[in-house]
Structure 1
Amino acid sequence: MAIIPHTALWAAIVLLFSTLCTAKTVTYDFNVTWVTANPDGLMERKVIGVNNQWPLPVIEVEKGDQLVVNMHNGLGDKNASIHFHGMYQNGTNEMDGPIMVTQCPIPPGADFVYNFTVNQNGTYWYHCHADYCYPDGYRQALIVHDTESYFYDQYEEEFTVTVSDWYHELVEGIAPDFLSVYNPTGAEPIPQAFLFNDTLNTNLVVKPNTTYLIRLINIGAFVAQYFYIEDHTFTIVEIDGIYTEPTEADTLYIAIAQRYAILLTTKNTTDKNYPIVTVADSALLDTIPSDLRLNLTNWLEYNADADHPQAVMTVDDATDLVPYDDFTLTPYDKMPLLPEPDYTLELSVNMEILGNGEGYALLNNISYTAAKVPTIFSVMSSGSLATNELVYGEFTHPIVLEHNDVVQVILNNNDGGSHPFHLHGHAFQVIDRTPSYGASFYSYVDGDPVPYNASNHTAFPAYPARRDTFVLPPQGHFVIRFVADNPGVWMFHCHIDWHLSQGLGMLFIEAPTQMQERLNIPQNHYDVCKTGGIPSEGNAAANTMDYLDLKGQNTQVGWLPGGFTARGVVALVFSCVSAVIGIAFLVVYGLSDLKFKGREEEGMGEGGKVGGKGVGKATVMEASRENSGEEVK
């Protein structure tokens, strides 16, 4: 047994008591309600607010605090939850928030209590983790202040900046057209606007020759954004809650769910104001409407009376911007490369049309489909069978991890789009990625996918960057490592909300035996399940008698019959639509003919006219075109 020197022991005791004395309970009461807002000035719409207000409140705590959020679902027509994005929830897996994973959906009228200790620091956010929910405005920053950070005494003031895409229609209205036979390619809905702190034309008011901490969070649902400030550089000090070695940069690429903290020292002048520029990554958009503004100008305001100029774009396309490569950042704690993995998982991303003609996303040919019982409850009720992956169903794509194993995940992208993957419960080391940022980031799109080759790769970094959300390049790959030291059920998924709705996710069931020993799920969580009519025990099929019998489990949509292609599906769909329209034409024409003959026999017409108005093919054809969406001329 190691001997602890008296001085070290006393230091540890003093630190413990200091933490206990300064830690406090921070409580927020959230009544989640519908409100109206018009953040881009183009359309007023319903959004999800808190306590009848929107934007939502920023949650602010200090490291070591107990955070309590008393949530009431006052929406009336929608389930809800809260995921505290980036919080490891070590020992409190039940507070993580994704519905049908670590809790039941919170139905309208129900109450739920989130209660956990914040034992980390940095820049985070919170959002709804129910189906089609957070793009309707249910998302905001969560800041953990840390007076012991290495840069705490280097800045005078801090700002929190969120960037996001914005839709004018409720997500529940957009979704049916997205997952549809009429959208077999799975083209994501195009936003109507992009926001900066949930609005436009914002000033960050600064003083000359002063250093500020700026926290940057992409709280959108789909589109990554570039960020820079004209004629300024800054110093990166944090990514996703992980402090980094101070690194100078001038441009960042912030994918969905990613966060940065930067130190910015202002100029020693007040003669002008400088554009803060955010530019949407247009490579993610299938089409770019003529009225969609991809680049926004907000301002670093030195002088309120001076001009506020619009940004001058110096490149033809946003993909020509070269951001700082987060792969090359070094953690401030210099945590070394983890040892060779105990468990390696190789995954491939594919976007496919399944048997219903709709586009889905798959990892190793599985499109994530939630179980009938939240997976955490299957763990807690399955006894010694908890280590058997079969308990959790085939289509939740469950992987059981041994406690404290070093886990390596190889993720290959067979898709031409990028995917920001997020791992709940952990920050992971990023040890390999191809291609890199910059012009080469999209260089593989027109070629063949390049999977990871274990026998032919560059040397892994000695001190790899760590974060909880990392971008999988188009048709490229990345490799990550983490230690399975946090017992719980953790999602690993693409954070583009449209892609998660298509099934681009899976579950890690980490140390289920230790989960049963350590977790203490509050009765309130079981009550919410009962209120919503959702079982809280049993396997993925809600079978409590035989946990290895999955009869009746939720399943993904079946595969297309052999030989069908995307083009074939489209042709088949529109052939069927045309056939239906053709039959409708025949029926309408036939009925009109019978009606005409009946009236002619009564002596009410001559030459094919009734009451002086023609009843012929033109009218029927116009109706046919209207039904098919074709323009009527």
Structure 2
Amino acid sequence: MDSWIIVLILVYTRIPDTHAMLSTEDYRTHSCVRTCQVNSRLTCEYDFYAESFYTLTKACYNCPYNVTDCYRPGCIPADGNSRAILVINRMLPGPAIHVCEGDTVLVNVHNKLNGHGMGIHWHGILQRGTPYMDGVGMLTQCPIPEFTSFQYRFNATDPGTHYWHGHTGQLRSDGIFGAFVVRQAAEREVHHGLYDYDLIEHTMIVNDWLLELTLDRFANHHQANGDNKPASMLINGMGAYRVFFDSDRNENITTPHSVFNVERGRRYRFRIISNGILNCPIQLSIDNHTLRVISSDGNPFRPVDVQSLNIFAGERYDVVVLADQDVGSYWIRARGQADCNVKSAFQQAILRYNGTKTETPSLPTGHQFGAREGKKLNPWNKKATDMLIPVSHLENLRPSNEALKETPDKQFYLAMDFNNIDNFNFYVGPEYVSPSVVVEAYNQLLSPQINYISNAFPAYPPLSQFDDIPQDMFCNADTKRQENCNMTYCECLHTLKVDLNDVVELIVIDEGKVFNANHPMHLHGYKFKVIGMDRLNDSTTLEEVQRLDNEGRLIRNFTSPVDKDTVTVPDGGYVILRIHANNPGFWFMHCHIEFHANIGMGVILQVGEPNQMPRKPKNFPRCGNWRETGEQPDGSDGSHCTNTASVVHRGLLHVLVMLSLCILLA
């Protein structure tokens, strides 16, 4: 009898408390990192622990004076600047996920952030049949509350180079992001014969980087007179910005650069990801090497050879690099443009040939040296030429005709700009309308909007709690037509509704009235076909583009347009996008510049009716407004904060306890 009591006690005490453990697992040796085979599928599980952290912590010991200390577990040197960051598993970038097409992915996200709800978006994964796993807080799920966990579960059916990132607040700006690569079996990989190696260590994430926590910069920019111009950049979370003086060696030193090793004479596939934060297109090049670009956003196209490419926030490009130069070290250069040009933000990594005796390239460093001449893919705010190749000129190698019929079922014109309209979330009260403030342009925050509407999420996710949302919260340009939104601030759940299986055309226009900027637009749940793109002038208008379209002067490529999920819209120009709306759900389309998306530069694409969308998972978390009504508790199912992992553990505990009791009583 006593032995069974001991067993019962062990059942209680050996159930692991996943919330009490942290992890620094990088999953480089995960069983799902393998050579992919046709119809060989695995279930790939990961634990992501999100927490507040800091660069150059005590774990860094004497970094950068002893450079080996910079590579200690838990040490994040970044660019040498000391600042607060947000991390997954105490890594920057967070752990990379490398799986094979068809694998089932499970990610247990444990939120240990201080005061943050969170979600993780799997950027490039279309979530067919699993829209609840898309990770958009207050659209597809409730944000994961602090101290709780949430399990994402979906199939990796979208091959290519993707990435994951936080999708609530400014999480990805401060460090919550990482690579997500879905490889294919060799016989299914269109470009397999173009390279010798496709190594996980040749995955590269580039991004602009702030010198302080993003919330500080966001509040300063929106509430005071602070700027929004990045000063630094990172390549795979590393780089050199702050200069240290080493008195022992009597020289200046920096934190280390990322290094990519190659063997002379071999061809390497590099998978390049932009986690761009602000208005910072990045020109990427490798000294003395040509980039053979073969894919974008996971979609293969006819290869193009260029000296450099521009990569915008949220985009991904796969390039093949032939290591055909003399054995040595060469700079990989990332040069910031637009707002990054203001403070000459740049970063460099090293392409190092095996056997080299020179660890650091001899050529000079600096922002100006990243302006590589020659042919360029994906120009920033330029018309196409022989030397400037827009993505609309790329030839798709996996063409389909589903979205390419001559006349679409639904067509929407979406005009974007920084509108001269005060956002009442920031400007309220007489102190903001005095002549001394209004006259000074630098005190006025222009509102980045689509069709003069700022998107605002409701208190309930439409996908999982549609019936809780008052219908007058949904709006679009037609329903707001009587409200003079071009004169007064309009905010609502900006929604475009289409029927299931519609062919939908989106003509997205950047009117360019104020700044020479750009807006990289990302669509969740779909790859769109880029059937048209042009810059008309320094600025344009919705009416001008509509007139040109009515006159048949917007050129559409119906032959083999490239598939993408993120595309920049030329300032003073337009892009024309097509989708076949066969993935029901509520899907977010938004500018991937953090400060723009966070204050409303987005729109919701509702595909189908709620009853046509996949059923939500059992015990899916609920959230929303609450106030005391004086009514008696009704015993309903819906906790406002359901921790799905805890439900699993409680259920397992219950089964084990009952089993032990049955044995005991027997």
1: CA distance between counterparts of 2:324 and 2:37? 38
Correspondent of 2:579 among 479, 482, 493: 482
Deviates more, 1:47-56 or 1:256-265: 47-56
Q: Over residues 280-320 of structure 1, what are the superposed CA-to-partner deviations in whole Å (9 max), with x where a residue is unaligned?
A: 11x235x723xx54353533434431361235789789497
Structure 2 partner of 1:397: 494
Correspondent of 1:155 among 192, 196, 214: 196
Structure 1 partner of 2:351: 299
Structure 1 partner of 2:49: 31
Q: Is the 8 A contact 1:136 1:171 kept in 2?
A: yes
* Structure 1 segment 433-512 matched on structure 2, within 5 A: 433-435=533-535, 444-445=537-538, 451=545, 453-454=548-549, 455=551, 456-512=553-609
* Structure 1 segment 519-530 matched on structure 2, within 5 A: 519-526=615-622, 529=623
Correspondent of 2:418 among 348, 351, 355: 351
Structure 2 partner of 1:341: 408
Gaps of 5+ in 2: 1-35, 57-76, 240-256, 378-388, 433-444, 481-489, 627-666
Amino acid at match of 2:190: Y
Q: Is the 8 A contact 2:539 2:571 kept in 1?
A: no
Structure 1 partner of 2:4: none
Give the SS at the match of 1:108: coil
What's the CA shift for 1:238? 1.1
Correspondent of 1:376 among 460, 463, 479: 463
Structure 1 partner of 2:332: 276
What's the CA shift for 1:204? 1.1
1: CA distance between counterparts of 2:472 and 2:81? 53
Amino acid at match of 1:479: I
What's the CA shift for 1:419? 0.5
Correspondent of 1:361 among 448, 459, 465: 448
Structure 2 partner of 1:216: 272
Structure 1 partner of 2:486: none
Q: Is the 8 A contact 2:505 2:577 kept in 1?
A: yes
Give the SS at the match of 2:139: coil
1: CA distance between counterparts of 2:586 and 2:355? 51
Amino acid at match of 2:580: V
- When residues 268 and 384 of structure 1 are mapped into structure 2, their CA distance, relative to the original with a 3 A threshold, is closer
1: CA distance between counterparts of 2:167 and 2:113? 15
Amino acid at match of 1:135: S
2: CA distance between counterparts of 1:401 and 1:26? 35
> Is 1:165 matched with 2:203?
no
Amino acid at match of 1:411: V
Q: Is the 8 A contact 1:99 1:129 kept in 2?
A: yes
Give the SS at the match of 1:395: strand
> Is 1:310 matched with 2:363?
yes
- When residues 319 and 256 of structure 1 are mapped into structure 2, their CA distance, relative to the original with a 3 A threshold, is farther
Amino acid at match of 2:404: L
Q: Is the 8 A contact 2:503 2:580 kept in 1?
A: yes
- When residues 71 and 312 of structure 1 are mapped into structure 2, their CA distance, relative to the original with a 3 A threshold, is closer
> Is 1:420 matched with 2:497?
no
Q: Is the 8 A contact 2:308 2:372 kept in 1?
A: no
Q: Is the 8 A contact 1:349 1:411 kept in 2?
A: yes
Amino acid at match of 1:451: V
What's the CA shift for 1:139? 0.8
2: CA distance between counterparts of 1:179 and 1:386? 25
What's the CA shift for 1:54? 3.5
- When residues 103 and 534 of structure 1 are mapped into structure 2, their CA distance, relative to the original with a 3 A threshold, is farther
* Structure 1 segment 484-633 matched on structure 2, within 5 A: 484-516=581-613, 518-526=614-622, 529=623, 534=625
Structure 2 partner of 1:327: 392
* Structure 1 segment 2-151 matched on structure 2, within 5 A: 22-38=40-56, 39-147=77-185, 148-151=188-191
> Is 1:244 matched with 2:287?
no
Give the SS at the match of 2:179: strand
Structure 2 partner of 1:197: 236
- When residues 107 and 254 of structure 1 are mapped into structure 2, their CA distance, relative to the original with a 3 A threshold, is same
1: CA distance between counterparts of 2:191 and 2:357? 32
Rg: which structure is higher?
A: 1
Deviates more, 1:69-78 or 1:452-461: 452-461
What's the CA shift for 1:150? 2.1
Give the SS at the match of 2:95: coil
Q: Is the 8 A contact 2:460 2:466 kept in 1?
A: no
Give the SS at the match of 1:477: strand
Q: Is the 8 A contact 2:587 2:604 kept in 1?
A: yes
- When residues 419 and 41 of structure 1 are mapped into structure 2, their CA distance, relative to the original with a 3 A threshold, is closer
> Is 1:288 matched with 2:327?
no
Give the SS at the match of 1:143: strand
What's the CA shift for 1:515? 3.5
2: CA distance between counterparts of 1:30 and 1:451? 46
Structure 1 partner of 2:287: 230
Give the SS at the match of 2:392: helix
How does the TM-score come out when normalised to structure 1? 0.72
1: CA distance between counterparts of 2:215 and 2:472? 38
- When residues 105 and 319 of structure 1 are mapped into structure 2, their CA distance, relative to the original with a 3 A threshold, is farther
Q: Is the 8 A contact 2:454 2:491 kept in 1?
A: no
Amino acid at match of 1:45: R
1: CA distance between counterparts of 2:334 and 2:196? 23
What's the CA shift for 1:374? 1.0
Amino acid at match of 1:156: Y
Q: Is the 8 A contact 1:257 1:495 kept in 2?
A: yes
Q: Over residues 378-399 of structure 1, what are the superposed CA-to-partner deviations in whole Å (9 max), with x where a residue is unaligned?
A: 4367899999989999711111
Q: Is the 8 A contact 2:475 2:492 kept in 1?
A: no
Amino acid at match of 1:190: K
Structure 1 partner of 2:384: none
Q: RMSD across aligned C-alpha pairs, in angstroms?
A: 3.1
- When residues 407 and 305 of structure 1 are mapped into structure 2, their CA distance, relative to the original with a 3 A threshold, is same
Give the SS at the match of 2:545: coil
What's the CA shift for 1:65? 0.5
2: CA distance between counterparts of 1:458 and 1:312? 42
Q: Percent identity?
A: 24
The count of residues paired between Structure 1 and Structure 2 equals 496
- When residues 49 and 141 of structure 1 are mapped into structure 2, their CA distance, relative to the original with a 3 A threshold, is same
2: CA distance between counterparts of 1:262 and 1:470? 18
Give the SS at the match of 1:195: strand
Q: Over residues 261-281 of structure 1, what are the superposed CA-to-partner deviations in whole Å (9 max), with x where a residue is unaligned?
A: 1112211642x3322121111
Q: Is the 8 A contact 1:379 1:386 kept in 2?
A: no
Deviates more, 1:71-80 or 1:459-468: 459-468
Q: Is the 8 A contact 1:104 1:534 kept in 2?
A: no
Amino acid at match of 2:538: V
Amino acid at match of 2:206: V
1: CA distance between counterparts of 2:111 and 2:368? 46
Q: Is the 8 A contact 1:387 1:512 kept in 2?
A: no
Q: Is the 8 A contact 1:250 1:323 kept in 2?
A: yes
What's the CA shift for 1:351? 1.2
Amino acid at match of 1:191: P
What's the CA shift for 1:334? 2.6
Structure 1 partner of 2:531: 431
1: CA distance between counterparts of 2:450 and 2:325? 52
2: CA distance between counterparts of 1:494 and 1:345? 17
Give the SS at the match of 1:179: helix
Q: Is the 8 A contact 2:92 2:237 kept in 1?
A: no
Structure 2 partner of 1:610: none
